[in-house]
Amino acid sequence: MANACEQLTEYASAGVAPALRAVDCVANEMAAGAFGRLFGAGGAMAPVLTIVLTLYIAFFAFSLLTGRSSLGISALSPRMLRLGVVLTFATSWVAYQGVVWNLAIGGPDWVAGMLMGAKGSATQLFGDRIDIVFSAINQISEATSQGAQAAKEGGEAAGGAAGAAIAAKGAGGLFTPESVMWMGALLLLLGTVGVLLTARIALAVLLALGPIFVVMALFGGTRGLTAGWLRGVVLTAITPLFVVLGGGITLELLVPIISGLVESANAGEIDGRGAMAFFLVASVHVALMVMVVKVAATMVTGWQVFGLGASERDRDAPQGHAAAPAPAAAPASSVSAYQSRTSTVSAAAAAAGASVTGGESAARSSDRRTVVTQVVGGGIEPLRQGDSATRAKGIGSRFRSASNDTGKLPKEKTR
């Protein structure tokens, strides 16, 4: 650990802002050390990286030999781009720190500073404001303790009923204004510093393991792990952003409450309503932080990670939907064939009716008449010439119904 980090860790217990500075320094040193041990000069994972790259080239050559891939721009560009990104971020700490580390750590902090109009680090400014709040709470507690000690000494000196009344007033139960104020302070501490430190430590661990997950982006079977790692990095990176912005609003609400508590403490006792208001605002802030984490997780879950998080079914879904309307051509052809056969039958029936009407006198002198019969199937295709032999061999050829004989010409019945 560098000397600068050692000095920061010595003063980490002095407040929230020094603790955040110490965590950032230690996380940076840990990530740099882990990168050097993994893929640095003489790192333990350097031979593994060589083997993985060799396998990647061998698999691509095999796909070219078998015809599954082609030597074109559409096939080579994504592979060469992926290979270049993996080699850059897995073998150079300067590139990894300049892009991944600075983007994950400094990006949300810069956005928070722009939204709050702060000069410098918004997270450090937020930590300084939290230190001011807890310093005021500590002063209130000390003033109350001194007032209670003075009242106790005065009660012992006065004696009698007056001293007993003062002692009874100074004695408190579990839910005294001071205890309620300290419970609110603990909730505020967990909802601000606790979430910030947890997110920073988790982000440091993910960034330290980052080169391993970057290498996994080469193969389709392990690409989902890279997508999950990127989602985790984004989740732990944007959580401090929400904490700083939401905590800034909470601190603005706490300023008048703390001012009233300081005034009441200087008068000799803590205002109960002010202590309850402080506890309520701190509880609301904790609930807000829980909601913020859930919202951030929902946002990250819906991210496809530049196509790395999409499954094969999701990538093939648009093609499947586009090809689905194609079978509609077959029913259209059957409907047109059905309409043509229906029109033919109608014309034949009309001609038969005309002949029967015109030759009414001839029909009286003879019992012979001609009836045109035609049974039309509901969209059933007629038999082709090549299928007649096949249908003659089947068992169902003996029980073939008239609805399947739509391709035959109408027969004449004579009676």
Residue ranges covered by each domain of the chain: 3-308
pLDDT at residue 181 is higher than 50 = yes
Other CB atoms within a 10 A radius of the CB of residue 247 amount to 25
Q: Work out the average pLDDT over 227-241.
A: 92
What was the pLDDT predicted at 149? 63
Summarize pLDDT for 84-138 with one digit per residue, the tens.
988 889 888 889 988 998 899 889 999 998 888 878 888 888 988 898 988 888 8
What was the pLDDT predicted at 64? 85
Percent of the chain past pLDDT 90, that is, above it, reads 19
What was the pLDDT predicted at 151? 56
Q: Sorting pLDDT into bands at 50, 70 and 90, what band is 173?
A: low
The better pLDDT of the pair 176, 394 is held by 176
What amino acid occupies position 260? Answer: G
pLDDT at residue 308 is higher than 50 = yes
pTM above 0.75, yes or no: no
Other CB atoms within a 10 A radius of the CB of residue 264 amount to 20
Summarize pLDDT for 373-409 with one digit per residue, the tens.
554 554 445 555 554 454 445 444 454 555 455 545 5
Q: Work out the average pLDDT over 305-314.
A: 59
Per the CB < 8 A criterion, the answer to whether 210 and 226 are in contact is no
Q: Which helix H or strand E contains 105, and what residues bound it?
A: helix 102-116
Cα distances from 40 to residues 2, 47, 297, 339, in angstroms, run 19, 11, 33, 77
Exposure string for 287-306, b = 16+ CB within 10 A, e = fewer: ebbeebbeebeeebeeeebe
pLDDT at residue 287 is higher than 90 = yes
Residue carrying structure tokens 């006065």: 158
What was the pLDDT predicted at 295? 92
The better pLDDT of the pair 262, 388 is held by 262
Per the CB < 8 A criterion, the answer to whether 281 and 327 are in contact is no
What was the pLDDT predicted at 77? 85
Q: Sorting pLDDT into bands at 50, 70 and 90, what band is 47?
A: confident
pLDDT at residue 13 is higher than 50 = yes
What was the pLDDT predicted at 357? 44
